[in-house]
Amino acid sequence: MAHGPAKGITRWLYTTNHKDIGSMYLWFSLAMFLLGGVFALVIRAELFEPGLQIVDPEFFNQMTTMHGLIMVFGAVMPAFVGLANWMIPMMIGAPDMALPRMNNYSFWILPFAFSMLISTLFMDGGAPNFGWTFYAPLSTTYAPPSVTFFIFAVHIMGASSIMGAINIVVTILNMRAPGMTLMKMPLFVWTWLITAYLLVAVMPVLAGVVTMMLMDIHFGTSFFDAAGGGDPVLFQHVFWFFGHPEVYIMILPAFGIVSAIIPTFARKPLFGYASMVYATSSIAFLSFIVWAHHMFTVGMPVAGELFFMYATMLIAVPTGVKVFNWVTTMFRGSLTFETPMLFSIAFVILFTIGGLSGLMLSIAPADFQYHDTYFVVAHFHYVLVPGAIFSITAGVYYWLPKWCGNMYNETMGKTHFWLAFIGLNLTFFPMHFVGLAGMPRRIPDYSLQFADFNMIASCGAFLFGAAQLLFVFNVIATIRSKNKATDEVWENPEGLEWTVASPAPYHTFTVAPPIK
């Protein structure tokens, strides 16, 4: 097969090649990550000092909303789909994804969705300002007119995710090389298989909830309007029925990436492969029965509070199994600390901290104090930034030499890591303290006693942002570099992706590889 990529822009517009589409997803996600990061820095700049300095409160609310939406739907999810596109066919010995044309569509509708969402910033009445959770009636009765654009953008993003997820499931179930049984699949493939099922189950619920909003706003229904016999609390139930599995959608592929990287740099096989698979499945199952722990304060009966509290705490068990397995994999290994490994170790430590603050939040009586404070902000940023973002970064450093055939600059990579690590902790650790002291989230101004910690957090945020520019520079420099990587890249890494040349040829595994 001497069939190479087409020339010019149409290569990217019409491509059905999983590597091209994976790259486009990753670049798109990087662009959204930087944009969402700029929004975050607007927030942190305003919060540098108490009082209103830089933006007015209305615009501040648009920033918190857009930051959340863009990071969740524009940065983290497309990055994982991009990694899945690149790596899953190469990991299971398949020539491409099962539905390549749909793969093309699922990527190319994304830029439209996000153009629509971002364009709301320039509309009369401004962008959505009701928080990324868009609770009714804030997002219905009191919403700016641009909410309709937001609704359709979410519909398109949802369609893209659903198509991507269906593609991943059918690829994994049908395209594995002969001999690759389910329990021989790399964990990244396993975690993505489970994530894809979660996506198929809950993205339609998200589409449903925004459709109900649309009908309430424009067609006179009253799903969430008490005046017409509806109930705004119903919105929260439906939203979090989507929203809680969604947070696992953003973390399960991260588990897979870290489970690929740690064994390579510990030079030991992953400890407890089967228990990892079962733990991931248990987490996915439990994610469907804990949604109301986001809404302990809405006035649930005690039985409900207790059920959701205990079910939530139960998630700590499979998560603990995973952390135990990663630590045990490293135990007595011949560890080296290349950039992907640094990010992975930071992932294990910081994600555990985020998990522990999650356990604190799961205690229903305590949650009445923590609810809607900066403690919650600290919690979910500790699981999402070192969880999703660090694992994606680790994955990029780990597989980039395979993608482009060149080795990245290790010193620059390590500098990126340490700047990001310090910046992250400076930003989010103080938020625990101000949250416990009672600082509410989503406010542009705050009491004087929170001033010092907020100033530290803002400095950390700008450091973290600067570190990402170094990352972008390093990635581009690597692609243009002459420093060739070997086919194996690392020392005896596990997996089929390392058996092909670096850079990976445009078509790989057109003949299924033999599986040991």
Partner 1 sequence: MSKASTEQRSIARQALRLLGVVVGMFVFAIWVMPPLYDAFCEITGLNGKTGGQYQAVEAAIDTSRQVRVQFLATNNESMPWQFSPEVASIKVHPGEEVEVRYIATNPTGRTMTAQAIPSLVPFKAAEYFHKTECFCFNQQALKAGESAELPLRFIVDQDIPKQVNTITLSYTLFDVTAEFALAQAE
- Where on the chain is the footprint of partner 1 (CB under 8 A)? 98-99, 162, 165-167, 169-170, 173-175, 200-205, 207-209, 211-212, 220, 223, 226-231, 233-234, 237-238, 241-242, 299-301
Residue 484 corresponds to which amino acid? Answer: K
Instruction: Name residue 484's beta-bridge partners.
Output: 406
Identify whether 96 is a catalytic site residue.
Answer: yes
CB-based contact 374:380 (threshold 8 Å): no
Residue 109 corresponds to which amino acid? Answer: I
CB-based contact 137:224 (threshold 8 Å): yes
Q: Would the CA dihedral through 284, 289, 291, 293 be positive or negative?
A: negative
**Contacts for 458 with CB less than 8 Å, ≥ 6 apart:** 44, 45, 47, 48, 427
Q: DSSP assignment, residue 484?
A: B
Identify whether 507 is a catalytic site residue.
Answer: no
Residue 172 corresponds to which amino acid? Answer: I
Between 93 and 493, whose beta carbon lies closer to partner 1? 93
Both tokens of 172, joined, read 């994994």
Between 162 and 485, whose beta carbon lies closer to partner 1? 162
Min dist. Cβ of residue 106 to partner 1 (A): 12
Catalytic residue among 246, 305, 338, 367: 246
Catalytic residue among 29, 106, 139, 161: 161
Between 221 and 281, whose beta carbon lies closer to partner 1? 221
Between 54 and 300, whose beta carbon lies closer to partner 1? 300
Identify whether 248 is a catalytic site residue.
Answer: yes
Identify whether 322 is a catalytic site residue.
Answer: yes
How far apart, in whole angstroms, are the C-alpha atoms of residue 217 and residue 142?
A: 10
Catalytic residue among 15, 23, 65, 259: 259
Q: Which of 152, 113, 147 is nearest to 127 (CA)?
A: 147
Identify whether 105 is a catalytic site residue.
Answer: no
Catalytic residue among 96, 216, 305, 338: 96
Identify whether 231 is a catalytic site residue.
Answer: no
Identify whether 481 is a catalytic site residue.
Answer: no
Catalytic residue among 19, 44, 67, 416: 67
State how far the alpha carbon of 17 is from the alpha carbons of 6, 103, 120, 141, 161, in Å.
11, 9, 33, 45, 18
Catalytic residue among 44, 244, 402, 416: 244
Identify whether 244 is a catalytic site residue.
Answer: yes
Catalytic residue among 18, 293, 381, 432: 293
Q: What angle do CA 426, 430, 432 make, to 5 degrees?
A: 135
Min dist. Cβ of residue 116 to partner 1 (A): 21
CB-based contact 209:233 (threshold 8 Å): no
Identify whether 11 is a catalytic site residue.
Answer: no
Q: Which of 33, 43, 97 is nearest to 65 (CA)?
A: 43
Catalytic residue among 248, 291, 403, 408: 248
Min dist. Cβ of residue 89 to partner 1 (A): 14
Between 206 and 353, whose beta carbon lies closer to partner 1? 206
Min dist. Cβ of residue 207 to partner 1 (A): 6
Identify whether 411 is a catalytic site residue.
Answer: no
- Angle of helix 187-218 relative to helix 252-266, nearest 10 degrees? 160
Identify whether 160 is a catalytic site residue.
Answer: yes
How far apart, in whole angstroms, are the C-alpha atoms of residue 205 and residue 210?
A: 9
State how far the alpha carbon of 397 is from the alpha carbons of 86, 202, 410, 508, in Å.
14, 31, 9, 21
How far apart, in whole angstroms, are the C-alpha atoms of residue 508 and residue 79?
A: 22
Specify whether the backbone of 8 is left (phi greater than 0), alpha (psi in -120 to 50) or beta. Answer: left
Residue located via tokens 């799961």: 362
Catalytic residue among 371, 414, 441, 507: 441
State how far the alpha carbon of 84 is from the alpha carbons of 103, 169, 196, in Å.
11, 11, 10
| SS3 assignment, position 435 | helix
Q: Which of 222, 364, 342 is nearest to 290 (CA)?
A: 364
Identify whether 294 is a catalytic site residue.
Answer: yes
Catalytic residue among 139, 319, 362, 391: 319
How far apart, in whole angstroms, are the C-alpha atoms of residue 215 and residue 508?
A: 48
Looking at the annotation, which residues are catalytic?
A: 67, 96, 132, 160-161, 244, 246, 248, 259, 293-294, 319, 322, 441
